[in-house]
Amino acid sequence: YTEFHVAVSYLEIYNEELTDLLAPVQNQPKLDLLEAGGHRGVCCVGLSEVPVSSLDDINRLVAAAQERRRVAETRINARSSRSHCIFTMKVLSRRMCPGGEQETVGKLHLVDLAGSECAKKAAMAAGEDPSASPSLTPRPTTGQAASCSSMLEQERERRNINQSL
């Protein structure tokens, strides 16, 4: 390869609001999701891509972004994330080939979904009887056991995120 570049971005999704966690707090761009066309999916217009040259660069950016994430305390977790985040690493490489130059682009998306502590577990951790509250009784679902009070909302958010990737 004659040349390569690596850049990262970090997107937070909270209450359907998009935030660039790598942009300066005082200079937050307006972010918008748009269909990229073809089979490329959805892209986030306005999201910054920060060039990096080492693992230390990436670790510093991620640590700073994690401090800006929206979190809250629950009965089970002192720092439970309240938002979904997508960390993206983009690698662009170029090399010379017989017909000229070849460019290759690859992306790695790491998705962190909002904390979903179960109400039943939280009640048990607090020493309460989970069967005493009708809101904590299990509900049938299409996948995982349903003892979380916000399960339907979380499932809707997961679908929106999966559709946007």
pLDDT of residue 38: 78
pLDDT of residue 39: 79
Cα angle, residue 58 at apex, residues 57 and 61 outer, rounded to 5°: 90
Q: Which stretches of 44-92 are DSSP H helices?
A: 55-68
- What letter would DSSP give residue 54? S
Q: Residue 123 corresponds to which tokens in the numbers above? A: 């009640």
- Do residues 86 and 162 touch, judged by C-beta distance below 8 A? no
- DSSP one-letter string for 88-133: EEEEEEEEEETTEEEEEEEEEEEEEPPP---HHHHHHHTT--GGGS
How many CA atoms lie less than 13 Å away from 148 in the CB half-sphere? Answer: 17
pLDDT of residue 57: 97
Q: Residue 77 corresponds to which tokens in the numbers above? A: 């977790």
pLDDT digits (tens, 9 = 90+) for 51-88: 999 999 999 999 999 888 876 666 656 555 678 899 99
> Which of 29, 41, 31 lies closest to 161, judged by CA?
41
How many CA atoms lie less than 13 Å away from 110 in the CB half-sphere? Answer: 8
Extract the residue ranges of the chain whose pLDDT is less than 70.
1, 71-81, 115-165
pLDDT of residue 134: 42
pLDDT of residue 63: 93
pLDDT of residue 46: 92
